[in-house]
Amino acid sequence: MLTSQQTISLFNQYVIANYTRYPVALVKGQGSEIWDAEGKRYIDFFPGWGCGLLGHCPKPIVEAVQKQAAQLIHVPNTWYTELQGTWAKLLSERSFGGLAFFCNSGTEANEAAIKLVRLYSGKDRCKIITFQGSFHGRTMGSLSATAQPKYHAGLAPMLAGFTYVPYGDLKAVESAADDETAAVMIEPIQGEGGVRMPPEGFLQGLRNICNDKKLLLVFDEVQTGCGRTGHWFAYQYFGVEPDIMTLAKAVAGSFAGAAMLAKKDVAGSLRPGTHAATFGGNPIAAAAGIAAIEMIEAEGLLEKTQKLGKLFVTKLQSLAEETDLIQEVRGTGAMIGAELAMDGTPFVQACMERGLLINCTHGNVLRLLPAMNLPENLANEGLEILADVLKKG
Ligand SMILES: *Cc1c(COP(=O)(O)O)cnc(C)c1O
């Protein structure tokens, strides 16, 4: 096996350097622990950038993938497979009873949503309102929906038809919605934008505006969905139902997979020839997705996640009282942000050196996306490292 340094040399020679990477090669994960090539163990409070909602290598997913890989790896969408139908049924029954389109990544699910909005609304209504600080993905359509100038730099022109308004500002939405507007698209909790919770009544206000003006409400639940908040979907936590919802990251238990769910009358506009994804809903992703839902239910992980969220918020809030570094603690379930008074990057580095993996987003927000099944002893061990690192400033 290569050392981390040898793997880094390999990358330097052959892999495009479009990511900022930590100088460590990871080799093995189990639950909320992960090991590097030198055998160092880390507690992972950010498994798989939100994809590892069930921890690393959860047994039911490993078994489902192994079994399916020996049976049928891929068939094109010109055929039926029972697995894809079953996966769609399980997702539909746990959400608003809609129909599913399958693809492979979050940005792709949002591209599907953008196309469905346009197909459904007709050629005179193509505009979509999105929110400052949002993140919807990196392909040109989803990137155009993403209202953060830093992600657009050097890539102009964006796709036409997006209007950006401040997050939480209902009046701005109202005045931005004109005769050409077809939809409002939003993350129920902004993820990359700093774990930003919607102000009280904001999502309901959007629903009301959409009802009044006959607009579609699209929730990007790529990060918040699939149990992350201690509910199947964040829209259920807030009690406001979208017309279209996009899922990826954790939807196939750490495996690559994504879905767009749409209410039946809307979904009908995606007809043969309008959209496709070669690998969408492939047997392995579907087997993993089904196993993920079954695992969450068999192990009571939604309830556990709600408790886990309370533990994190309580501990971080008391830490905020002890040090004046933390300005605000936000989030719910397994999606927690601690906004700092300064740049958070050095703290991520210091935690990593001490054997804890966390993330910093939006410059100064420490973001934790732990696994739903993070054991309490590891939660406490990791939080102690974080507290220690923050107290040392
Ligand atoms: C990560 C993310 C995406 C993009 O997902 P990819 O799989 O990287 O394309 C889109 N929306 C939200 C809210 C995300 O967190």
Distance, in Å, from the CA atom of 181 to the CA atom of 118, rounded to the nearest integer, reads 10
Domain ranges of the chain: 4-57+300-392, 72-298
Q: What is the pLDDT of residue 92?
A: 98
Q: What is the pLDDT of residue 97?
A: 98
CB 120 within 8 A of CB 266: yes
Q: What is the pLDDT of residue 170?
A: 98
Q: What is the pLDDT of residue 393?
A: 76
Distance, in Å, from the CA atom of 197 to the CA atom of 200, rounded to the nearest integer, reads 9
Does any ligand 1 atom lie closer than 6 A to the CB of residue 221?
A: no
Q: What is the pLDDT of residue 135?
A: 98
Q: Could you give phi then psi for residue 234, rounded to 5 degrees?
A: -60, -30
- Residue minimizing CA distance to atom 15 of ligand 1: 223
- Whether CATH 3.40.640.10 fits 72-298: yes
Q: What is the pLDDT of residue 57?
A: 98
Q: What is the pLDDT of residue 50?
A: 98
Distance, in Å, from the CA atom of 334 to the CA atom of 366, rounded to the nearest integer, reads 13
* Alpha carbon of 367 to ligand 1 centroid (Å): 15
Q: What is the pLDDT of residue 205?
A: 98
- Could you tell me the fold of the domain covering 4-57+300-392? Aspartate Aminotransferase, domain 1 (3.90.1150)
Q: Which residue of the set 219, 220, 233, 347 is catalytic?
A: 220
Pairing assessment for the beta strands 326-332 and 335-340 based on DSSP bridges: antiparallel
Q: pLDDT tens digit string along 110-162?
A: 999 999 999 999 999 999 999 999 999 999 999 999 999 999 999 999 999 99
Q: Which residue of the set 46, 101, 233, 249 is catalytic?
A: 249
pTM here? 0.98
- Please give the average pLDDT of every successive group of 10 residues along the chain, which has 393 residues: 97 98 97 98 98 98 98 97 98 98 98 98 96 98 98 98 98 98 98 97 98 98 98 98 99 98 98 98 98 98 98 97 94 98 97 98 97 98 97 85
Best mutation site among 18, 19, 104, 107 for ligand 1 pocket (most ligand atoms within 8 Å of CB): 107
Q: Is 135 a catalytic residue?
A: yes
